[in-house]
Every structure is written in C-alpha cells, then in structure tokens.
Chain A
Amino acid sequence: MAARPRLQTLILELTRACDHACCYCYNFWSHPASPPAGDDGPPADVRPLLAHVLDQVDCSHVTLTGGEPLLREDLPEIVRFLAARDMRVNLITNGHRLTAARIAELIQSGVTLFELPLLSFHRETHDALCASPGAFDAVLAALAHIRTRRGKAVAVFVATRRNIADLQDTLKLARAFGVHGVMLNRFNPGGRGAAAIDELLPTVDQMRAALETAEAATQELGLPISCSIPIQPCLIDLAAYPHLGSGFCAAGSSRAYYTLDTAGDVRPCNHTPTVLGNAWREPFAEIIAPARLADFVAATPPFCASCTRRSECQGGCKAAAQVCYGDLTAEEPFLHRNRASARPIAPGPHL
C-alpha cells in the first residue's frame, strides 16, 4: 500500500458566509467580479468529508476558517470530532461571535489556537477595516476571555496604508492581552481587497518601517512575530530582521496548506480559486500529485526570470496575481506596484 501523503496542515473552509465585510478580504468569492456568496443553505455535516480525507493522509493539524466559522452552530461538534482524532485545531475567526461561553465550549472541545484580527489600537480604525461596528470591542473581549480560560491566541495585523502607522501600539495592545504571537501580514490583495489596492497596499518604505518596528518589538515585548505573506527579497531584505519569522509560497511542497471546502473541492491554498480535484471523487494522493500541481507551482512572473532566488520566492503570492490580474504568472500587486524599488539579488547562499 502506498504511503499516505503527509500534510502539515489541512485548511477547511466551513462556510463562505461572513458577518464582516473586511475591505482587505482575500477570499476569492468576495471579489467584486465573483457571484454573490449568498446563503450556503443548511450546512452539511462535514464530519464524513473530514473522516474521508483524514483517513487518506498523515496529518495532525487542521485549520478551520471561512467565511466566518462561528456562523456554523455545529462548530463545537466539528472541533470535538477532530480532537477525538488527536488533531490540533486552529480556528481562524473575526471574533465577533466569540462570547465567553463559546470560548469555554470551544476550548473544552479541543481548539488549540485562536487566530484573531487585531488591526489597530484605535476602535474606529479596526472597525472601519472590518466594516463592522463593534468588531474592536468584540475581539478584545474575546482575547480577554481566551486569556481567562487559559486558551491560546495569536493576533493578526493586516498591514495596510490605513493602519500601518498603528503597528507599534497595536503590538503593545496584543501583548497586554497575553497573545502568544502576532502575524504581521502585509495586505495581500485578492477577493474584496482586489478592489482596494490603491487605498490599502502599503509601499515598500512603509512595509520596511513596519518590519523595523516589529523587529524591535520582538525583543522589547518578548512577542514572537511572523510575516506569513511572502515579501520579495528584491523589495525588502528580510535578513535585516532576524527575529521575525517569514516564509514563501508553500504550494506543492510538503509544507503546503491544501484547502478543502464543504463540497470536497481541494485547492492548493486558500487564496487561489484553482480547484485541483474533488475529495469525494478522487483519492487525495491523486489530487495533490505533482503533475496536477505543476502549472501552479511553476508559475513565476517573467520579471523574476533571471533572479537567483526565483525558485524560493516564486515572485510572491501567485494566487494574488491570479485573482487580481487573471494570470498566475503576472506580477502580484505588491511586486507590480513596487517594482521600481526592486534591487538585484546577488548570487550565492541566502539563509
């Protein structure tokens, strides 16, 4: 019998519905050109699908996301199902429905990490980016309840032109609420965010200043900070920020985060609309076979053709290029808008 594919994590999109309308949203179905997400209808029981997939892979970590996962009333049951299979469960939520009671229930059910947005230390900025009054109060209350229940949380700061100046004090706020780390994610256009690139996309100089702030905060506040959205080395040399975690697109590698929706469709990541196959109709190993992923993995912009770090960086987030410009090989917006700042990459080892 062939070995089961090993996944570091599996992402499950529990619903496309959301009670926020974040201007930076990357979900491809929130793109202005996409058909309205509408009502998913009565939610299907995803446990048979999860069992079907998890039986075929070697995986011990599942990330639940959406849309907004807390719109599903059966979320605790799903978490308990995963915990019973010895899975670590990461829950990505906007936090608006995370009441004290729900937090207690979810921690008891087996959520090991909550991932919540914290976009500013100003209520009006956070609420405006989420397009949801009360979002700031809700997320801070949720963080306090998680802390009280001895749960674990990381805060996500999406760096846009509108909030990037707030980073330092927002990191302090996150630390004050006892988060275990911060994800400093540059705004990555896609979905609804694709319609707001001019308004939201930070410049290279703004992003560099934010990284300097974050680098200092890791030491002053003892706060682990990572940058999950790729930053092209030709734009910013991340070696200058040794205490920040960072990474590049993992699609097709053993670090890939394949994304599953409730219908069983599997995608290379949750930013792209590209469907590799359906888990109900094909073995998972065939869906993620290298040949199936080849075009996605190989896609890099012509601009990067001579770069020595092309295979590592891959030009940034190709899914963003795909959603914003309709082509996986296009320059994704952060590169496209800042390419004048690009510096040549010297050959040699880069660690």
Chain B
Amino acid sequence: MKSTRREFMAAIGVALGSLLAARCGRTSCYIPAEPTPAVSMGEDWDALRQPWQDLDLLARDAQDLEKGEQTLGRLIADHRAALDTLVRSGELDPAVADDMQLAFTSAAQHVWRLNAPITCYIPAPYPDYHVASSSDLAQQAELLGEMAARSDIDPATVEQARAAIERDIAFLSMSGDEQQALIDAVVQAVGEGGDYPSLAELDLDAPPESVEAARALVALLLGQP
C-alpha cells in the first residue's frame, strides 16, 4: 500500500511526540532525569517549540473530555500561529510550514487519542500507523498455528494468512545488504528493456518540502538552530 505524503508527515509527528514524551530516555524514581537544555532559537522559534513541549499537558488534560479538547485545539492553533509568524518573516517556506503543521496535528491527536475516553466510530486507541516487529510476527504465526488447530478455519485462508506473515518475517529478517540485493534484483528485472525516469522525475512519497519539514522539526526540538 502506498505511503502518502500525509501519512509520512503524520508518522514523523507521532514519532517526535513519542520521543518527547519519553524524554529520549528511561527514568525512574531514583534516577532523576537530566533537564532538557533550554536552548533558545529566538522568540518565534521558541513559540513553535512550546506546543510540542506542552504535549504532556495535553496528555493530562485529555482525561477530561472538554478540557482535553480545548487544550488540543489550543495547541494546534498555537502551532499554526507560530508557523504563520515564521512564514511571514521569510524564515519558513509555506509548503514546509504546512507539512510541519500536519506533523504536529498528528502528534497532538495521537496523544489525545491515547488519553481520552473514546466513542464509537472513531476507533480511538488505534494509531494511524502500524509497525510489526519480528516478535509481533512470531506471535501471530504461533497464534495462527494454535487457532488453525482448534478452529475449523478454511485451510486456504490459513495459508493466505500464513503467507502474509512469512512474507513480513522474511523481509524483516533480511540484512540491509540482502534488502538492497532484493531491490536491485527487482530493479534489474523490471528494468530490462525499460526506460527508467531519473530520481528527480519520480513522484516520491516524501517530497523535498516534507523532508525539509521533518529536518526542521528535529532541529527545533533538539534546540539546534
């Protein structure tokens, strides 16, 4: 399934929000966390960083329906306003700003969904992304075997489900070189007699503005002007 630009930016936002929530490290009651260095990047950039730093506030407020929605709306609006300021001053390209807003909106909604009481028809606890780890896939394969033995599932369906799991396991199990070799083989197979466009002509899932937006967000949150 094609990963769209929107999905890419949403994943960037959620990943950054998660890193912030975890403070990039594991702390305990007995190991005080090092405070994040407060490096100012200028008033306008600091205003853009503030909504990201307030995601933990959103997590708390989200447990109250009305309060959580107010905080969610305020943070998204604050982030947009800070971007607009940077666009007006010429420090940000409008398209990059739009992608940054998309990333933040996704991060904020993710935090809200994880903490808010849910309703029907927005299946709230399910994030918009899914990464199956090797252990996930191994568990699925084991459960499939168990349930196939205990339930009278159509054998063809079991085989299809098994094939999908095995495909994912095989890909995850490949080394970087093996994955590249596979890609090369596919390229070679398709390329025989084919006329490939240059990279610049391809409609990539992550266009330059999105890559720039992701880079700018990482720099912002790390306090690296």
Q: Is the CB of A121 within 8 A of B147?
A: yes
Q: Does B119 contact A (CB under 8 A)?
A: yes
Q: In the complex, which residues of chain B have a beta carbon less than 8 angstroms from the beta carbon of A88?
A: 128
Contact call A226/B151, Cβ cutoff below 8 A: no
**Size bracket of the B interface:** 35 or more
Cα-based distance from A147 to B154 in the complex (angstroms): 16
Cα A257 to Cα B120 with chains together (Å): 8
Query: Taking the nearest CB of chain B, how far is it from the CB of A260, in angstroms?
Result: 13
Closest residue to B72 on the A side, CB-wise?
A254
A273 at the B interface (CB under 8 A): no
A149 within 8 Å of B (CB atoms): yes
Q: Is the CB of B123 within 8 A of A61?
A: no
A100 to chain B, nearest CB (A): 9
The yes or no answer to B199 lying at the interface (CB within 8 A) is: no
Given contacts A169-B151, A176-B140, A177-B161, A63 and B117 within 8 Å (CB-CB) = no
Instruction: Give the contact stretch, choosing among A192-200, A243-251, A278-286.
Output: A243-251
Residue of A nearest to B7 (CB): A112
CB neighbours of A270 from chain B (8 A): 121
Taking CB as reference atom, which chain A residue is nearest B60?
A: A351
A274 interfacial by beta-carbon distance below 8 Å? no
A255 with B65: CB separation less than 8 A: yes
A90–B124 CA distance with the chains assembled, in angstroms: 12
What's the least CB distance linking A296 to chain B, in Å?
15
Contact B119 A247 (CB under 8 A): yes
B130 to chain A, nearest CB (A): 6
**A211 sits at the interface (CB 8 A):** no
Give chain A nearest CB distance to B205 CB in angstroms: 14
Q: Is residue A332 within 8 Å, beta carbon to beta carbon, of the partner chain? A: no
* A123 pairs with B151, CB closer than 8 A: yes
CB-based contact A181/B126 at 8 Å: yes
Q: Name the contact of B164 in the complex, choosing from A140, A178, A246, A254 (C-beta under 8 A).
A: A178
Q: Which of A86, A121, A173, A246 contacts B118 (CB 8 A)?
A: A246
Q: Give the residues from 130 to 169 in chain B that come closer than 8 angstroms, CB to CB, to chain A.
A: 130, 132, 136, 139-140, 143-144, 146-147, 150-154, 156-157, 160-161, 163-165
| Complex Cα gap A185–B140 (Å) | 23
Cβ-defined contact, A140 with B153, below 8 A: yes
Q: Of all chain A residues, which has the CB nearest B148?
A: A176
Interface-central residue, A112, A141, A245, A270, by most chain B CB under 10 Å: A245
Flag whether A235 is at the interface (Cβ < 8 A).
no
Residue of B nearest to A166 (CB): B151
Smallest Cβ-Cβ distance to A220: which chain B residue: B139
Least distance between A258 CB and chain B CB atoms (Å): 10
CA separation between A188 and B153, bound complex, in Å? Answer: 28
8 closest residue pairs by CB, A with B: A176-B143, A176-B144, A181-B126, A228-B120, A245-B125, A144-B160, A247-B118, A250-B119
Beyond A141-B160, A226-B118, A247-B124, 13 extra complex contacts between A and B, CB < 8 Å? A86-B6, A112-B128, A113-B123, A115-B123, A144-B161, A172-B147, A175-B139, A176-B143, A177-B140, A178-B140, A228-B118, A255-B69, A255-B122
